Chain A
Amino acid sequence: MHKIIAVIRREFIERVRTRAFMIGTLLGPVFFIAMAVIPGLLLSRGSAGRRVAVIDATTGDFGARVESALAAAKEGTGANAKAKYFPIRIQSAPSRVREVLDSLVPKTGLPEKESALDGILIVDESGVTTGKVSYFGVNVGSLEDMGQLRAALTPLMITERLRRSGVDPALALGATMPVDLETRKVSDGKLTGESGAATFGLAYAMGIILYMALVLYGTQVMVSIIEEKSNRIVEVLVSSLTPFQMMLGKVLGVGLVSLVQIATWATAATLLSKNQGRILGFFGVSGAGSGMGFSFPSMPTGLLIVFFVFFVLGFLLYSSAYAAIGAMCSTVQETQQAQMPIMMCTLVGWFSTFALLKDPTSSFAKIAGFIPPLAPFVIPVRYSLAPIPLSELLLSIGLTILGLLIVVWFASKIYRTGILMYGKRASFRDVLRWVSAS
């Protein structure tokens, strides 16, 4: 026991002392700040106040209504709201539309010129019936911009058509009011105050964090075993430590490092989201964008525990497997091929979280939760989206622990023999022989 602690301590201290750890730990919060600030910056400077020419080839006042609807569209809310468009209406005879367009195109998309246009919108009579509207602009590649434009025009079209069929404009306006779905998540019989988007974001973020952490730290275990082999330090260690002590000490040491790093990041993210307004203000981003920016949703205690349990189980499972791969190989290059099976497992685990985001209650989600290499990804994500019965949760934990024990058993067998093999990489047949030897 004393010896294992010595190995864990060495592994932990030497790792925490490295520059890579310092940089990695500090870069996390920088990344979070960037996540919070950049969307704000983009929203507040990028798309606001587009100059749009509206070529009006309609006979009635539809063109004028489009102009005033665009002029009324705002970016942001409250006092910080800014105009989204600066529309300029140009009347034109239907036959001359082409001519007007040709004369406007050379004035479009010139960022240096103050008076240049950002886009040209053409509305005509046939468009009112067919719904066809042409837009020429610099931002046609932006799905968001186009979506907003479409959303602004659609109700205008509908009310116009209804009006022409003789429906009272006020009634038409009321009838076309779209559904504004406001979502709030319920968990454990309580309102959490989170929106649907935040829940989705949290589940998505957990999937990424689990995937990155398991691969990142698992690979660290693998690489450091290869380093010990190539330094020949194993020869000294193995004369006083059992291979199992060496492997367990290494896995737990790296595991502690990962927990410290992730806890640091989580704390930083929480502090940042609490002080989001202040930080955004510091970067000169008005509160306007803050609603759309990054926010770290609060994690309910239950989810926190589930995440922690499965992170630890997943880490032990994967890093033991990585340790075995490290013991089998002599150089990092050799591991590329040997670690394929593990890479596949982590990828499948991660991708199955996408399926979960679509439907957390599907039978796939249920089954994946009982497969040990997938459960560490699937269960926390699923738990964040929909409640999981306690019995199912415990069964999943039990099965994962069983899977973990099997992997550790295999890994320690491989480790014991592989660690003293220098030179060539062991074939999978060699490995089977090591495992079957008592």
Chain B
Amino acid sequence: MDDTVLRVEHITKRFAGHTAVEDLSLEVKKGGIFGLLGPNGAGKSTTIRMIMNIIMPDEGKIVVFGESSASRDLSHRIGYLPEERGLYPKMRVLDQLTFLGETKGISRSSARTKAGQWLGRLGLGDWSTKKVNDLSKGMQQKVQFIGALLHDPELVILDEPFSGLDPVNSQVMKDVVVEIARQGRTVLFSTHIMEQAEKMCDRIVIIARGKKVVDGSLADIKQEFGGRHVALTFTKNSDRAARVLQDKRLVRRVDDYGASAEVELAPGAEGDVLLGTLVREGVGLSRFEIVEASLQSIFIQKVGAEAASVPAREVVNA
């Protein structure tokens, strides 16, 4: 039995005047967390909306669960958190969730029970009879998140799930996502925050300007990207460190964050030479570690130049 949950085959979507997604293919296997990464305006949301059958691709096709029917007809098996969050502002929280559950095809009573359990779990138990209007933005986002998970979907599609959340709520949502994946269900989420994707995803696809740039498991991508990388954290004299890192004999590329830096060693240069030079210059170090390239640096290198030149009108359709 094929364990492919979602197969996107050569889809293209054009809007008036520009191409939002071009010849994009990807495959999501059952279980685990799949990251759809890309800068703003890359076409992530457009891709997700096509997967959700909200808009139709101009070319190519999308197969969900290996079935020929559209994902809307399979909506009882899919959970969806759109990028544009939306709830009925005057509806009570519990009624709202019950309704969302019903539109996914589960019975009214079980939707109500499940919604109550979820609200309790995410710390919103006291708010179930309040109107959505009375909730903070973060709480509303949690409510919408519950709406996407209420019917125990096999495939959960989250469009920028962590944007606009404070660290505490972000943590709560992350725990839920990880738990879903542990249960053997599949999560696909889009983000432009690489640290998050790096920590959570098994497999990623990076798209830029509507085209696929990187595709594979995180480990493979890092290995393929290669190079020897050093992660540094400074305690003092980081200005001197900056000078050292300009040395092209030692360093091929540097990503300087001020208090820390990620460095790709020049071909032939050794890590201990760099360490020796830094110590000699009197730079205080609390971390000097030979590491794999971070997703952030891979991302910047692969799409950086292109992302910087995204025409303004494309960003509108992000």
Contact = CB atoms under 8 A, between A and B. Distances in A.
Interface of A: 2-3, 6-7, 10, 13-14, 18, 228, 231-242, 420
Nearest to B48: A239
A19 B144 CA distance: 26
B147 A236 contact: yes
B140 to A, nearest CB: 11
B268 interface: no
A228 B89 CA distance: 10
Interface stretch (B102-110, B169-177, B225-233): B102-110
27 contacts: A2-B102, A3-B105, A6-B103, A10-B91, A10-B95, A10-B99, A18-B90, A228-B86, A228-B88, A231-B86, A231-B87, A233-B87, A233-B88, A234-B86, A235-B54, A235-B84, A236-B80, A236-B82, A236-B86, A236-B100, A239-B52, A239-B53, A239-B75, A239-B82, A240-B72, A241-B72, A242-B72
Interface in B23-62: 52-55
A241 B89 CA distance: 20
Query: Which 5 A-B residue pairs are closest in the complex by CB-CB distance?
Result: A232-B86, A6-B102, A240-B75, A233-B86, A232-B84
Interface in B105-154: 105, 108, 144, 147
B85 interface: yes
How would you classify the secondary structure of chain A's contact residues: helix, strand, loop or mixed? helix
Contacts of B86: 228, 231-236
Contact of A232 (B82, B95, B102): B82
Given A232-B85, A235-B86, A236-B80, A14 B72 contact: no
The residue among A3, A231, A241 with the most chain B CB atoms within 10 A of its own CB is A231
A55 to B, nearest CB: 69
B64 to A, nearest CB: 12
How would you classify the secondary structure of chain B's contact residues: helix, strand, loop or mixed? loop
Given A3-B103, A6-B102, A10-B99, A239 B54 contact: yes
A3 B104 CA distance: 8
Contacts of B91: 10, 14
B82 A241 contact: no
A241 B90 CA distance: 21
B103 A237 contact: yes
A214 to B, nearest CB: 25
Contacts of A233: 86-88
Nearest to B53: A239
Contacts of A2: 102, 105
Contacts of A241: 72, 103
A235 B100 CA distance: 12
B318 to A, nearest CB: 13
A10 B102 CA distance: 10
Nearest to A17: B90
A231 B54 contact: no
Contacts of B54: 235, 238-239, 420
Contact of B102 (A3, A231, A236, A239): A3
A236 B88 contact: no
A14 B91 CA distance: 7
Contacts of B53: 239
Interface string B215-240: 00000000000000000000000000
A227 to B, nearest CB: 8
A375 to B, nearest CB: 35
A6 B101 CA distance: 10
A10 B78 CA distance: 22
B55 A420 contact: yes
